[in-house]
Structure 1
């Protein structure tokens, strides 16, 4: 069992019931989630020692967010308390050709004002095997970007493997600022995860003629930019999820990876996910599954296949968290995607 630490913002999610638009909703469904928190839940669910680090307000809503993590067996001992509020995001789930829509209400959230002094990183990373963060946290505020770098320095001082999910959020910052901040943080990263938009907006690499809306994935373009990214940042692995959006309810889902040491490029099996129940958290479940594969000791191809299968299954589950079991993922990797009733 590996110790994996993730750090970021956990938020209150308010989503419209079913596929209602905001203007139709008389009530919202409530759950909690956030990129790094979702990864921690996946890893805890697969049996690893997962810990989530953040700052939440010292009030009942903050306690509810922490309780949601504890319920999933995520360790919360080093979560700081304080600040003004918990961030909120509103979700309107799309269907067919109507896209989903997210509205953020996270200004002045507790994590946005957190400082390194709020955390004992020497203690947090003691005995840790892996640290994961995303591009969302540095985008929240300049203070959060500084906090992220301090955490990365502490992790590397302890010899901890580091992964990032680039996760560009245009509603939080510009591509220009993302590239300035994130390019600096890449010096600490061993495993880089992202999709085609992330690679372009966050690091300035565009994978050839790929057009996910038309379903045209030019894999040679991905291999080319992966090699460039390895050359520039010395990543051990570069990984991209590949989502082909036939509609909001119907996606093709696969991934590819490039190994610095073996110089191999590998494309996973593709799953047709239809109908999609909830795609929010799909990328986080992919990151969590792939990290699980690595810390399990799988080779990079098998780790990728585990991550892709895990995230394909997540699309069938409402809420941010991926609640499938390790056995569920292994069955799908093994070829059982029948969906037959288990008796």
Structure 2
């Protein structure tokens, strides 16, 4: 089966030109994206029949969203059209030592009003090989938390592989509320993206010895999670060292069968656009698992996909499988002729 499904909110992103603050800029560039939508786009570029489930307003902005998804090869069959508004966020682009800043304007969006009764989960998940959601969706309403839990249960009943990315956003909700929403999902998850801090603050795992190397601490947390939730077959995350807004070092991690696999270090400089880098990584992990790659191949592919995403504007990764595989083989910066 080549059908994959993601569920979440897609928003309009308004970004300042590099070197300008939101309070002073006279122009903003427009992109469309959101965690699950970005994963759907990547998987479409990887050759899957990718479906995005969401709710958008029936107005020109909603139409722009639909056109964006279709232009990237994502099916919009399950895109509901009602509600009052499209969620928006503003990105003040970082430079040098100044970090990027996000301002959300998404309250009362069409998606945040989505009700369980509006979706036919049997129809949506029928014939699906993978279903993916992130924690951002859970942050938006109690009804969406109920919907996601029902969707994961339904997916497991239908034999669908399930994926969940903690993807915590402190500007959307608090740690305690997030922990209470995440934990009921975990018994129904096959692939889980979570890091050190997620394990401590959301799962309540005792903090590892900080004197240990970072990879040993992560292995400690992943062993603990695997023992408590043996249904989770893959645990994944990244280590990101921020040198500046335009220079990051990135390492991917994948924990399978008690073993931690890591990618090489990607020294990403200059960064064109960091937004969506985590979603590109998640999609790379999902693709590698669906295709039956070996663990080392999976993490190398996913981290390379994320590194490439940092080199293009917008939320979405627009690279093909062949381009990513070629990138993993080439020396950095070498001309491909």
Bin of the TM-score, shorter chain as denominator length = over 0.9
Give me the whole-angstrom Cα distance separating, in 2, the residues matched to 1:292 and 1:328.
14
Larger mean CA deviation between 196-205 and 329-338 belongs to 196-205
Q: Is the 8 A contact 1:135 1:165 kept in 2?
A: yes
Give me the whole-angstrom Cα distance separating, in 1, the residues matched to 2:248 and 2:82.
40
Q: Which residue, 212, 218, 222 being the options, matches 1:222?
A: 218
Task: Tell me the CA shift for residue 125 of structure 1.
Answer: 0.9
Task: Tell me the CA shift for residue 209 of structure 1.
Answer: 6.0
Residue of structure 1 equivalent to 2:285: 290
Structure 1 residues without counterparts, runs of 5 or longer: none
Residue of structure 1 equivalent to 2:302: 307
- 1:115-134 map, 5 Å: 115-134=115-134
Residue of structure 1 equivalent to 2:251: 254
Residue of structure 1 equivalent to 2:229: 233
Give me the whole-angstrom Cα distance separating, in 1, the residues matched to 2:97 and 2:134.
29
Task: Tell me the CA shift for residue 145 of structure 1.
Answer: 1.1
Q: Is the 8 A contact 1:116 1:151 kept in 2?
A: no
Q: Is the 8 A contact 1:33 1:320 kept in 2?
A: yes
Per-residue Cα deviation, 1:189-227 (whole angstroms, up to 9, x for no partner): 11111333433343334774669xxxx961100000001
Structure 2 residues without counterparts, runs of 5 or longer: none
Larger mean CA deviation between 276-285 and 198-207 belongs to 198-207
Any idea what SS the aligned residue of 2:179 has?
Answer: helix
Give me the whole-angstrom Cα distance separating, in 2, the residues matched to 1:251 and 1:231.
33
Change (3 A) 1:180 1:96: same
Residue of structure 2 equivalent to 1:274: 269
TM, length-normalised to structure 1: 0.94
Change (3 A) 1:114 1:279: same
Give me the whole-angstrom Cα distance separating, in 2, the residues matched to 1:205 and 1:95.
36
Task: Tell me the CA shift for residue 61 of structure 1.
Answer: 0.9
Give me the whole-angstrom Cα distance separating, in 1, the residues matched to 2:207 and 2:219.
8
Give me the whole-angstrom Cα distance separating, in 2, the residues matched to 1:172 and 1:61.
23
Residue of structure 1 equivalent to 2:155: 155
Give me the whole-angstrom Cα distance separating, in 2, the residues matched to 1:19 and 1:318.
16
Change (3 A) 1:20 1:330: same
Residue of structure 1 equivalent to 2:177: 177
Give me the whole-angstrom Cα distance separating, in 1, the residues matched to 2:37 and 2:3.
15
Change (3 A) 1:193 1:157: same
Q: Is the 8 A contact 2:275 2:314 kept in 1?
A: yes
Residue of structure 1 equivalent to 2:26: 26
Any idea what SS the aligned residue of 2:285 has?
Answer: helix
TM, length-normalised to structure 2: 0.95
Change (3 A) 1:79 1:207: farther
Q: Is the 8 A contact 1:167 1:198 kept in 2?
A: no
RMSD (Å) for aligned C-alpha atoms: 1.7
